[in-house]
Structure 1
Amino acid sequence: MTLMLPRQVGSVRVRERLGEGGMAFVHRGEDPYRPDRPLAVKLLRPEAARDAELVQRFLREGQLLKALRHPHLVEVQDFGRSGSTPYLVMELLPGGSVKACLGEPPATLVRRLLGPMEGLHVAHEAGVVHRDLKPSNLLFAADGRLKVTDFGVCLWEGAEATRVTRSRMVVGTVGYMAPEQHGDPRRVDRRADVYALGAILFEFATGTPYAQVQLPPASVRPGFPPGLAAILMQALAPDPGRRTPSAMALRDQLEAWLERAEAAGWGEQPLPGFQTSVDQPTRTLLKRAEPEGASERLGPYLDALASGGVGSRRAAAEGLRQAAHSGDGAYLAGLLEQTPESARFALANALAEVGGEEALAPLLGLLEDPFVRQEAAEAVSRIALRIGRVDAMRSRLAEPGLGNVWRWSARARLGDGSWVESLLAAWPSLGEAQRVQALEAARELPEPLRGRVREAAGTEAQRRGGRIREAWARL
C-alpha cells in the first residue's frame, strides 16, 4: 500500500526522502520564502501517528526545541499536523554524525564535545533531560558545528508533558544508558546525560565501548592521558551521587584539562594503535587496479577518506556509497586494510552495495575491529544474499546464543534459526531496550522465521505498549 504523506507542511514543500527511522521519515524541505536555508522535514509514520502517546511525544519534541535556542542544539522552525500526519520542520544537518571522528587525538575529541555540553546545559536548566544521547544523535551542521538532535524521548519536567515523560517505559540505547535508566525512569535526572557523554568520549578515544569493558581507559588503550582518564571515570560512575553533577561541570573539567594538555603538548597525537594518516603503500594502492572511470567517480572520495579532515571524510562516505558501481568491488576491497581506521566504515558501507566474493574475506577480518565491525557484518550479510553464499556466511557470523547485539541484524538477514531460538528462549529475561533492538533486527528475518518472532512477541508487545509495540508493529 502506498503511504500518503503530505507534499507540503505550512509553507514548506516536502521533497525527496533523506532517511527513515523507527518512528518517522525524514525528507528534504524547501521554503520558497527562505530558499537559501536547507531544511529537513520529519514526518511521523502513519502507524505511529495512530498512537496518541507517540504523537504527544513527537509534538512535544517540536515544542521543546522551538523554545530552546543554542548554537549546539538542532533548531526547529515549525511543528504541528498536516492532516493526520504530525511533522517537525528543522534545520538540515548535512555533515553526518560524530562517528567519523573515531580515533581522533583525545584533545581534538574534547574540543568537539565542549559545545554540545553547553547546549545540553541549557536544556538541563530548562528542566529537560535528553535520555538517549549517542553518536547518531550528534550531527554536524554545514558550518562544522556539532549539534545535539533527537529529543523525542526526553524527560521534561513541564506541565502536560509530565504524564508522558514520567511513564515507567525504559528509554535509551544500550551502551550509552546510565545504570539508573534500567530501573525506574522517574529517578533519572541530568546526570544520566553526563554518563552518556562520558561513554561517547571513552569509546571514541579508546576504540572500545565502555559497556563492553568497564575498565579505566589505560587498560584498553595504553598511553591514555591519566588526567583525562580520571575525568571520564567520574562521569561514568555507576552511582549518580558520585558522578560528575552536570554537563557544565564536565565541560569545565575537560576545558581545564585541555588547557593543561595544550600547554604541555599532551593529547594532540593519536593514541598508540590508531592509524590516522596514509603511508606511501596506501597511496600507491589508491592508484593501481582502478576500474575504468574510477578515477573520475571515486577519486575525490578516496582522497578525502585517505588524507582529508573529519568534515571531508563524512561527506566522502556518502559520496563513495552513491558513486560506486558493481565493478568496483575488488578495487574497494583491496583498500580496506590500508585505509585509516576512522574511514573504514565508509568502504564497508560501499561494499555492502557493490561488493562480491572478493570482499568477503577482508570484511570478515574487520569483525574484530570495534570501529567498523557492525558495518562489516552488515556488508557480509548483504553480499552473501546477493551472490548466494548465505549458508557459509551464516556459519561465519554465528555465535552461541544471542551473541553480540551488533551482529543481530546481519544474522537475522541470513536466516539464522539458532539466533531465533535463542531469542525466543531469552525473551522473558530481556530488558525493554534489548527487546526493542531484537525486534528491529528481526525485521530482517525471512519468513517463516519472522512470523515466529511476530507471533511469540505479540501478546507481550500489545500488553506493554510503547516502544516494544512500535517495534513489533513493524515486523
Structure 2
Amino acid sequence: MKYGRYEIVKELGRGTMGVVYQAHDPQIDRMVALKVLRSDRVVSQDFVLRFLREAKAIGRISHPNIVTVYDVGQDHDTIYIAMEYLEGRPLNAVIKGKTLPVDEAVALCVQVAEALGYAHGRGITHRDIKPSNIILTPDNRIKLTDFGIARIEDPDAAQQTQAGDILGTPVYMAPEQVMGQKADGRTDLYALGVIAYEMVVGKRPFGGGNIAAIFRSITHEPPEDPMKNGNFGNRALADLILKSLSKDPAGRFQTGDAMAAALNRCLDAASHPFAETAAPQEKAGSSKRIGPALVLLGLFLAAGIVGYSLFLKPADDSGIADPAAVPVASSILDVTSSPDGAQVFIDSTFKGTTPVDIPLAPGSYEVRLNLPDYYEWEARIQIGEEGPTPLQVRLVSIN
C-alpha cells in the first residue's frame, strides 16, 4: 500500500487520531515515519486542523532533539505527515518498573529542557510532554515527538480548539491545564518536572483512582519530597524538581535554558550548590485561589467538557492498567449526555445511545460521543474497581 510516493512497510502504532507506519521514500531511499489521519477523523474539521497544526509546528523548527518533518500530503481521502524515522525506544518503556541513576536522568532532562527552550523561543508550546513522546535513540540522544496539540503563537490558533477543551495527558498536566487556563512554556517545564520525579523516584508525584482524583491531586496536593524515597539522595535535584512542580507558574523555571542550566549544576552539587530552593509552601491566599478553581474543575467534569485528544496514548501514560489484563467486566460506566441520544463508542466499538450503562472491566478506555449537529466529544477515562463510574457529557452545538 502507498500514500503518495511513500510505500508502507509496517504499522508502528495507532491512536485516537490516526495510525503511524514505517514507510519507504523511494525518491531518496530512506525510511520515514508516516502519520496517517484516520478516515473517520477527516470529516471533523477540528481534527484535520489539529493534525495539520502538528506539521506546521515542527516543520518550522530545526533542532537535534526535535523530530524532523519532511512532507505533508493527501491520498486515499485522508492526510499524512512524513517525518523522521527514529531508531530507539520511548522513554516510558526505558523507565518502566525502574529508576534511573541521577546522572542519566539529569542528562536526559537537560536535552528535553534545551529542546523545549528552543521551541518556546519560536512561539511553540508542546502541551503534551510525557515519556511516550520522548524517544531515546541508541546513542542516548532524545527526540521530542507528537506536537499534535501544540499551541502556536499565530492569529488562527485560538480558533483551532473547541472552547472548554482541556488538552494533555492527565498525570503530566500542570494545574493551569487542568483548570482550562492558558498554557505556556512553563506548562511544558512542569511536565518535565513530573518526568524527572518519575525517573529518579520510581513513581509519579500525583495520582488517584480516577480522573477527578488525579486532577484534584494536581491542583491541591503538594508533591512528596523526592528525598523521602530511600533510594534517592540528591538534595539539589530534589529541590529542582519541587520548584518545577510549583502550582503557580511564576514559581517554576521561566525558560528551558534556565532549567537546563540548573539541572547541569545538580551533577556537582557539592561544589556548585543549587542556589534556587524549592518553591515555598503555598500561602493562605494561594489556597483561597485553589478553592474556586476546584469548584470550576468540578463544573468542568460534571458538564463533560473535559477532553483531551492524543495521537498515541499508551495505557501506561494514563496511570491505569491495561483493560485487556482484566478479563471480567466488574464495573459500570454510567454515560449520560445533554442532549440525550448521543452514540457512545468505547475503544471505537459502538455501545449504545445515551443514557446507557456499559459493563466494563477496571482499566483505561477511550470514550467517544457522537450526535449530529454537535461537536464530537472524546476522552480517555479510568474505570475503578468498585461501584459505577458516572460520566455526564454536555455536548456543544456546532451552530
TM-score (norm 2): 0.69
1:20 CA drift (Å)? 1.1
Partner of 1:317: none
Q: Which residue of 1 aligns with 2:117?
A: 121
Whether 1:201 aligns to 2:211 is no
Q: How far 1:463 sits from its partner (Å)?
A: 4.7
Give the residue type in structure 2 aligned to 1:123: A
3-state SS of the aligned residue for 1:209? Answer: coil
Higher helix proportion: 1
Quick check: which one's strand share is greater? 2
Q: Is the 8 A contact 2:41 2:47 kept in 1?
A: yes
Judged with a 3 Å threshold, the aligned counterparts in structure 2 of structure 1 residues 245 and 263 are, in CA distance, closer, same or farther, namely: closer
Which of 83, 102, 109 is residue 106 of structure 1 equivalent to?
Answer: 102
The 5 Å alignment of 1:212-227 reads 212=207, 214-227=223-236
**Greater RCO (CA < 8 Å, at least 6 residues apart):** 2
The answer to whether the Cα contact below 8 Å between 2:62 and 2:68 also exists between their aligned partners in 1 is: yes
Q: Secondary structure at the match of 2:227?
A: helix
1:224 is paired with a residue whose SS is coil
Q: Match of 2:16?
A: 22
**Bigger Cα Rg:** 1
Q: How many angstroms does 1:224 deviate by? A: 2.5
1:202 alignment partner, SS class? helix
Corresponding position: 1:60 with 2:53? yes
* 1:53, distance to aligned residue in structure 2 (A): 1.0
| Matches of 2:370 and 2:146, distance apart in 1 | 30
SS of residue paired to 1:38: strand
* Larger displacement relative to structure 2 (67-76 or 99-108): 99-108
Which has the larger displacement, 138-147 or 70-79? 138-147
Match of 1:249 among 233, 258, 275: 258
The residue number in structure 1 matching 2:68 is 75
The answer on whether the counterparts of 2:200 and 2:232 sit within 8 Å (CA) in structure 1 is: no
Q: RMSD across aligned C-alpha pairs, in angstroms? A: 3.6
Shift of 1:249: 1.3
The residue aligned with 2:238 is 229
Over the matched positions of the two proteins, sequence identity in percent amounts to: 28
Q: Deviations over 1:100-138 (max 9, x none)?
A: 144110111110221222111111111111111110000
Contact 1:155 1:165 in 2 (8 A): no
Match of 1:75, as an amino acid? T
1:443 to 324, 347, 359: 347
In structure 2, distance between residues paired with 1:202 and 1:11: 43
Gaps of 5+ in 1: 1-6, 265-373, 376-403, 429-438
| Aligned residue runs from structure 1 range 85-96, under 5 A | 85-96=78-89
C-alpha distance 405-73 of structure 1, shift in aligned 2 (>3 A): closer
- Do the aligned partners of 1:169 and 1:466 also contact (CA within 8 Å) in 2? no
- What SS does structure 2 have at the residue aligned with 1:81? strand
Kindly state the Cα deviation for residue 33 of structure 1 after the two structures are TM-superposed: 2.5
Whether the 8 Å CA contact 2:34–2:83 is kept in 1: the answer is yes
Q: Does the aligned pair in 2 maintain the 1:73–1:116 contact within 8 Å?
A: no
In the alignment, residue 7 of structure 2 is paired with which amino acid? R
Give SS of 1:211's match: coil
Q: Which amino acid aligns with 1:407?
A: A
Structure 2 segments unaligned to the other structure (5+ residues): 208-221, 274-314, 338-343, 360-366, 381-390, 392-399
